Structure 1
Amino acid sequence: MATKTVVEGDENQIHSELVPLLRLGLTSKPRWLPSLLLWDAKGLQLFEEITHSEPYYLFEAEKWVLEQNVNSITDVIKPNSVILELGSGSLEKTGIILEGLVRKQRPVDYYALDVSESELDRTLNTLRQRLNNNNNNTYVKCHPLVLTYEQSFSWLLNNPTLHGRDITILWLGSTIACESRQESIRLMAAFAAVKKQSQIGKLQFLIGVDGCKDPTLVSRAYDFPPGLTRKFALNCLDNANRVLSQQVFNPKDWVFQGVWDAENSHYNTRIAPTVDLTVEVKGHPIALKKGEPVSVIVSRKYGEAEVGKLVQDAGYFTAKAWKHRDMDYGFYQVRLE
């Protein structure tokens, strides 16, 4: 069933909250930029193009797991419950799960959370058409949320339409592994705390996680010709200029500098200035040396045992795991203890 697009949240507010993070990241050692800068409309479109490129194995691996196990996966989503997807992106793989629910005639409300209003409009319209055209959908209602992860806590706490309803938090694309281990634990524990303080029903996560640690496969996935991932990484500087409402960064003065860290099993997407620079962030001048790396996003690789330990430390347990036939890619049902 198509529903009128009512956006809850404010992109401008999200941008204003990024300013102190920009200053903090650029004055830290090692230096970093908030990964939220990657996900403006252009960044989301570039990433969608990346996911359709052959070297980016994560998309097809997760899609295979979902397609092969959709009946079992949708069995754990109860009728009249709510699905909240963190960082919804293109919604292509999400559609596999939602189509499965439509086939089972299982009514749910689906909320796509992301930080670009225009991209949420575009992707949700495509998703609604897909559900209607293929399945004559009258069961899955789709809604946008222009919010950060942190802002969703208040939404869960203060939304009376959620009272008494079970919540499934959907975290696809190994996005959980783009947060530090400590931050992932903190976020999951915060959702558990929200559940205790609110009137919502049961809470569970469905999480896709990549465990591949082959340096060749991983490096090709995050840096491949014709430089699409480089455009994606450097686009964050254009978005930073929009956040700061002035031309602080010139992308022409920066290069991509991604690296696979075998010891810590993660790929660090970094950029670096090609000349010595001084950038001014709201009255604070910050000196950057030529070639000094600035981390944009880190993609960590977790096998099943590592996922189990992470969720346990957050107060959850792994109830079910669906795995790829050939690759170390898992999709996990995670519940509160």
Structure 2
Amino acid sequence: MSQPMLLDTSATESVQLYSIRKSGLLNLKESIIAGLQATPKTLPSLLLWDDQGLQNFDAWTQAPDYYPKRCEWEILTNYQQDIASQLPTGSIIIELGCGNLGKTAWLLAAIERQQRKVHYYALDVSDDALYKNLGNLKTQFANSECISISGLKGTYDDCAEWLAGSAQLPGSTVTFLWLGNSIANLTKLEASLLIGQFRQACRKMSLDCNFLISADSCAVRESILKAYDPNDGPSRKFLLHGLHHANRLLGREVFKEAEWEAVPTWDEDQHELHYSYVPNVDVQFDHDQIQVSIKKGEPIHYFMSGKWTEPHVNSIAEKAGLKVGSVWKDTQEQYCFYLLHNKSYSIGTDGGKSQRALI
């Protein structure tokens, strides 16, 4: 493992923050140009998730019409003890794209109440998010004998590579925590491939592998479009932020916000909401002797949010070599938590196989 950078925090002990990132701004800049030259045109969704983007997203989730956060908190409030009981003591928890860690603190508190020892790693690409939120989390659990906390700076791919090649972890079971419907920002195939990539990385290091994920399963089209309205203040600020991030990486204002709209398209067959940037004028610019031309009205895909049913998640897990164990739902069944594990995985002290729980 690389030498840790010590996080300056007001907690009684410093938090270890490991930089495992091998991708950088140059790669993202190249992805912008490559995507704009492709047919159809695309921009990387990672543009949304810098420090400012994370703040924008957090503000969006406070909106009354944004039902996913409300549903997720309902499940955590009602079933946190049951969820915590299914995570093995002595395990490693790695949260993928951790955000502000509010839900994480809730879950770790339940684990602590059950006197289960875990080592928690927060993975994020944002320095500011890790510095601020890990400091707050460490303060909350400063006197805990059960919860250890560290941070990982990097992407999903960085984490998988780190696990397979250089990680020295204090345990034999890794539970990946993937909340906030983040899994559904990928296509179903991409989600299966990434889960499979983590599973293979753990297998290479002789680690058992589980996933605790949450996924939006809302089937009411009107509720979805209202929650994800690109013309509303907080959601619009988040959805258009990718253009500002791209400008910063390119070193000039190529994308003027007044010339662009974020346009949603609902795919009924796949249960996915897709977003594209669409210009209201022709846009042309040169970058490193490469000419980029975007026609008025030409869509540039950059973001999606799946609304996946339980059969969808079952299929994703199966293709990744895992199976769905327990399932927890909100009262309106708009949102679900899933525990994915290897088919031979068992929980509890009796060694019995995990039972499917439809709650």
Q: Please give the TM-score of this superposition, normalised by the length of structure 1.
A: 0.92
Give the deviation of 1:29 after TM superposition.
2.7
Mark the CA change 1:282 to 1:237 in structure 2 (over 3 Å): closer, same or farther. Answer: farther
Hey, what does 2:99 align to over in structure 1? 89
Partner secondary structure for residue 327 of structure 2: strand
Offset from partner CA, 1:18-72 (integer Å, 9 cap, x none): 1232123222333221111100111000100111111110011111112211111
Letter in 2 for 1:310: I
Partner secondary structure for residue 320 of structure 1: strand
2:259 pairs with one of 241, 253, 259: 253
Mark the CA change 1:26 to 1:224 in structure 2 (over 3 Å): closer, same or farther. Answer: closer
Hey, what does 1:313 align to over in structure 2? 319
Letter in 2 for 1:146: K
- Conserved? CA contact 1:249–1:279, under 8 Å: no
Hey, what does 1:234 align to over in structure 2? 240
- Conserved? CA contact 1:7–1:117, under 8 Å: no
Mark the CA change 1:272 to 1:100 in structure 2 (over 3 Å): closer, same or farther. Answer: same
2:290 pairs with one of 284, 292, 295: 284
Higher helix share: 1
Hey, what does 1:191 align to over in structure 2? 198
Letter in 1 for 2:316: L
Offset from partner CA, 1:299-335 (integer Å, 9 cap, x none): 0111111111111111110111111121231101101
Mark the CA change 1:53 to 1:172 in structure 2 (over 3 Å): closer, same or farther. Answer: same
Mark the CA change 1:86 to 1:281 in structure 2 (over 3 Å): closer, same or farther. Answer: farther
Hey, what does 1:152 align to over in structure 2? 159
Partner secondary structure for residue 340 of structure 2: strand
Hey, what does 1:299 align to over in structure 2? 305
Mark the CA change 1:156 to 1:312 in structure 2 (over 3 Å): closer, same or farther. Answer: same
CA distance in 1, matches of 2:82, 2:278: 45
Mark the CA change 1:100 to 1:282 in structure 2 (over 3 Å): closer, same or farther. Answer: farther
Hey, what does 1:15 align to over in structure 2? 25
Partner secondary structure for residue 193 of structure 2: helix
Partner secondary structure for residue 168 of structure 2: helix
Give the deviation of 1:202 after TM superposition.
1.1
CA distance in 2, matches of 1:61, 1:70: 13
Give the deviation of 1:227 after TM superposition.
2.2
CA distance in 1, matches of 2:278, 2:27: 24
CA distance in 2, matches of 1:49, 1:260: 24
Offset from partner CA, 1:139-181 (integer Å, 9 cap, x none): 2122221110000012212345316521000110111111011
1:139 pairs with one of 124, 143, 146: 146
Hey, what does 2:182 align to over in structure 1? 175
1:110 pairs with one of 120, 124, 130: 120
Question: Is 1:129 matched up with 2:139?
Answer: yes
2:270 pairs with one of 250, 264, 267: 264
Mark the CA change 1:12 to 1:116 in structure 2 (over 3 Å): closer, same or farther. Answer: farther
- Conserved? CA contact 1:324–1:330, under 8 Å: yes
Partner secondary structure for residue 96 of structure 1: helix
CA distance in 2, matches of 1:282, 1:301: 39
Structure 2 residue ranges without an equivalent (≥5): 1-10, 344-359
CA distance in 1, matches of 2:268, 2:167: 47
CA distance in 2, matches of 1:164, 1:109: 8
Question: Is 1:50 matched up with 2:60?
Answer: yes
CA distance in 2, matches of 1:18, 1:184: 20
CA distance in 2, matches of 1:172, 1:42: 20
- Conserved? CA contact 2:325–2:341, under 8 Å: yes
Query: % of aligned pairs identical?
Result: 32
Partner secondary structure for residue 192 of structure 1: helix
RMSD value over aligned CA atoms?
A: 2.0
| Aligned ranges 1:56-75 → 2 under 5 Å | 56-75=66-85
Give the deviation of 1:259 after TM superposition.
2.8
- Conserved? CA contact 1:233–1:271, under 8 Å: no
Partner secondary structure for residue 7 of structure 1: strand
- Conserved? CA contact 1:166–1:203, under 8 Å: yes
Question: Is 1:222 matched up with 2:228?
Answer: yes
Question: Is 1:336 matched up with 2:346?
Answer: no
